[in-house]
Structure 1
Amino acid sequence: MLKSMTGFGNATIETESLSVTAEVKTLNSKFLDIYCRLPRQFADKEIELRSLLTQQLERGKVEVSVNVSRTNAVRPGVVINRPLVAAYVSDLKETANSMLMSIPDTDVLQLALQQPNAYLTDTPETTADTNEYATVRAAVEEAIRRCDDFRRQDGAVLEHKFQEYIQIISDRLDAIEEHDVRRIPAVRDRLRNSVRELLESESFDQNRFEQELVYYVEKFDISEEKVRLKNHLGYFLEVLSTEEANGKKLNFISQEIGREINTIGSKANDATIQRFVVQMKDELEKIKEQTMNVI
């Protein structure tokens, strides 16, 4: 079954403390190219997530985005250094008492809060516990699954398109075989006339004549090419229907199809067959273009 390299999947998982949204987008690429955008507290999990993406998505340009928001128990980014502030308050009060001054407690606290290092920059989101990462991973896995489903659906559409293109090429091959039955007598007549002229010539060379005759017979005969082309078309459909179908293999087969089509066009030396060849090449280009979008 074919899978396209173009896909999209997203998933949102909520717990008592977290809401995690993961998005996975994939585009065409010759190789696997992963770009991750993760919250800071999960930066150390990027390698693990990359491994997961590599196993599941195989090939393509992959963009992963994870957004995390807390649903409760939000902690401030800056907190008061209580032990130090308490020491400042005690020292300020002792200083005021030693100077026989009376300062309201609110003013003392305000002064203490203005002292150096009275505040600490808390970083509760720089690290994450195991349960939080499990939620993130579950969201990413679900987004990957949905992206993969998208790829399979798109791959089914591509498979149908490939079947249509191959059928058109097969129909043109049938038309060539039908026309070739009439082409051969025409070629034979041309050769017969050429032979008659040679026989009437005083410089007729029997050996050269036999060589030329063999050359032209081989040059105009496209029987082998027709057989090989038909086999390649059948093999393409056979590979298309297997679980191992992939873009690289289908592209290789399409190259072999192209060689046979080109040889038929060059050897036939017939205007009608050339028109059929042009039509087959047009469908083959569509196949080659679409195989670039298959994993």
Structure 2
Amino acid sequence: MAMSMTGYGTSTSHLENTMLTVEIRSVNHRYLDFTAKIPRFFLFLEDKIKKIIQSYFGRGRIEVYISIEGESFVKKTVKTDWDLMDQYMDQLGKAKSRYHLIGDIPAEILAAIPELITIREAEEYPDGLKDAILTCTKEACEQVRVMRQEEGVFLSNDLEERLNTIYNIVSLLQTNRIRVMEEYRERIQKRIRDHLDDNTVDQARVYQEIVLLAEKGDITEEVVRLLAHIEHFRGTLNTAEPIGRTLDFITQEMHREANTIGSKSTDTEISAYTVSLKREIEKMKEQLQNIE
């Protein structure tokens, strides 16, 4: 059964005073394209998240959004380089004595000296948050997959209907093929009779030319191949594997056969059927852009 590439899923988890939310959006794409917006201090999980996505989906643009609300995970601490401060104080004392300076050394001067007093950040987060992110990612993937499967059922039904329409058109082409060939032969014979004397023409050669000209307009092979493509399409549509690329290739082959029929035929009825055939194939190709 076909699976759509459009879907959405979300999962939340509460740990202590923290709320985790994982959102996943899936849209059409020729290949599997993964992007993630993850808080900086959990970027190390990106590769594991990507592997989870790859285990669920084969095609589509997958966007993962992870948000964490609650108490800040960044704990700030003040660090003083006392050895460096001792050197500064020693040098400032010498400067006062050397230049006969009066007054105390303001504390603001020490605070403004680079690398003397620094603020360090340490990341702390509730136990189990890393595992919760991966679990919520899987749960959101499940929701996306269910939505893609539901949409896939609709797409499969639509493709089945279009495939039946195409089959009916090809059947009409097959039915009219014999009529057209007979009319073609009669038209060639009439033109020969109108322009040549039957007594001066090699009849065997005439019929040979008729056969050669008739074969140029014969669409038997194209019709047979179209019927084979229809069966291949229907069989592929009912498989469980990702089928979008395979079905797209089949429709390209169907379109090629339809073009050949259109270039061969001079019959207005068959030409009309060919136009309808190509239109249905184009509509089918458009729908296939939504299938994984």
Q: TM range, normalised to the smaller chain?
A: 0.7 to 0.9
Question: Cα distance, 1:226 vs. partner?
Answer: 1.8
Of residues 150, 164, 167, the one that matches 2:147 is 150
Secondary structure at the counterpart of residue 56 of structure 2: helix
C-alpha change, 1:135 and 1:204, in structure 2 (3 Å) is: same
Secondary structure at the residue paired with 1:244? coil
Counterpart code for 1:63: E
Q: Distance in 2 between matches of 1:75 and 1:60?
A: 34
Alignment map for 1:114-153 (pairs within 5 Å): 116=111, 120-125=119-124, 128=125, 131-153=128-150
Q: What residue in structure 1 maps to residue 21 of structure 2? A: 21
> Unpaired segments of 5 or more residues in structure 1?
85-110
Q: How far has the Cα of 1:279 moved from its partner?
A: 0.8
Indicate the percent of aligned positions where both proteins have the same amino acid: 30
Deviation at residue 204 of structure 1 after TM alignment: 4.1
Give the drift of 1:285.
Answer: 0.6
**Retained in 2: the 8 A contact 1:112–1:118?**
no
Q: What do the CA deviations read for 1:210-240 (whole angstroms, capped 9, x no partner)?
A: 5422221212222232222112112211110
The unaligned stretches of length 5 or more in structure 2 are 83-105
Q: How many angstroms apart in 2 are the aligned matches of 1:216 and 1:46?
A: 65
- Structure-2 separation of matches of 1:290 and 1:48: 32
Q: Cα RMSD between the aligned structures?
A: 2.8
Q: How far apart are the structure 2 equivalents of 1:162 and 1:48?
A: 36
Q: CA deviation at 1:200?
A: 1.1
Amino acid at match of 2:123: P
Equivalence map 1:1-295=2 (5 Å): 1-70=1-70, 77-79=75-77, 116=111, 120-125=119-124, 128=125, 131-197=128-194, 199-200=196-197, 204=201, 209-295=206-292
How far apart, in 2, do the equivalents of 1:8 and 1:114 lie?
56
Stretch deviating more after TM superposition (188-197 or 137-146): 188-197
Q: Please list the CA deviations of residues 15-37 of structure 1 after superposition, one character each: whole Å capped at 9, or x if unmatched.
A: 33421111111222222221111
Residue range with higher mean Cα deviation, 181-190 or 248-257: 181-190
Q: Does the Cα contact within 8 Å between 1:239 and 1:245 map onto a contact in 2?
A: no
Deviations 1:181-220 (A, max 9, x none): 4333322321220232354178746675354222212122
Write the distance in 2 (CA, Å) between the matches of 1:4 and 1:12: 25
Q: How has the CA–CA distance of structure 1 residues 245 and 36 changed in structure 2, closer, same or farther, with 3 Å as cutoff?
A: closer
Say whether the 8 Å CA contact 2:156–2:237 is kept in structure 1: yes
Q: 1:3 to 1:207 in 2, by over 3 A?
A: same
